[in-house]
Structure 1
Amino acid sequence: MSASVLASCLWVLAATATAMLPMRHQMVPGLALLVSAPVLMVWLALSVGWWMGVLGLLAFLSMFRRPLGALVGWLLRRGGWA
């Protein structure tokens, strides 16, 4: 098993553990997971193949759909996309 696949599995376990925390304790580890995910997906795509990067992206979007939706809504209300 390559290091990128192992790191991806550990990321999923960390995300699952973070989801089990009370909401007030999820912010810091959730932000760390949110920031580290793109780097991990690019590493995974480069070491295993682009299709694995796409699967990682789909898993990431599935797990973080609400926080990402809130972030997009906040940016649209602020006019951050202009």
Structure 2
Amino acid sequence: MNLSLILACLWAIAANVLAMIPSKDNLWFRAYVLIGIGIPLLGYVVYQNGPWVGLFVLAAGMSLLRWPIVYLGRWARRMLGRGKEQS
């Protein structure tokens, strides 16, 4: 296992530990920090291991940070005009 995969595993462990600690802001600040660290780390994983391993690490990261992804999807639908109810 090379350095990028070791760092990705440490990132996943840190995300799980941070999720177990109570927070007043529902963990959003920690999610932003994890996203800020995770995006360059994902690029490093893709650079060292290729796109298939990168997609696997991306899926793992998205499963850990699912609420920011849900809100991003809702925002994108609203911006594209598909979130409006038709009457």
TM-score range, shorter chain: 0.7 to 0.9
Cα distance 1:74–1:24, how it changes in 2: closer, same or farther (>3 A)?
farther
CA RMSD of aligned residues (A): 2.1
Map of 2:84 onto structure 1: none
With a CA cutoff of 8 Å and minimum separation of 6, indicate the structure with the bigger relative contact order: 2
Map of 2:47 onto structure 1: 46
Identity, in percent, stands at: 29
Q: 2:70 is aligned with what amino acid?
A: G
Highest CA radius of gyration, 1 or 2?
A: 2
Q: Provide the rounded CA distance (Å) in 1 between the counterparts of 2:62 and 2:15.
A: 12
Q: Confirm or deny: 8 A CA contact 1:4 1:44 kept in the other structure.
A: yes
Q: Work out the number of aligned pairs and report it.
A: 80
Instruction: Report matched runs for 1:2-81 at 5 Å.
Output: 2-24=2-24, 26-74=27-75, 76-77=77-78, 79=79
Runs (4+) of structure 1 exceeding 6 A deviation are none
TM-score in terms of structure 2 length: 0.74
Higher helix proportion (structure 1 or 2): 1
Q: Provide the rounded CA distance (Å) in 1 between the counterparts of 2:71 and 2:24.
A: 16
Unaligned runs of 5+ in 2: 81-87
Q: Confirm or deny: 8 A CA contact 1:4 1:40 kept in the other structure.
A: yes
Q: Provide the rounded CA distance (Å) in 2 between the counterparts of 1:19 and 1:28.
A: 11
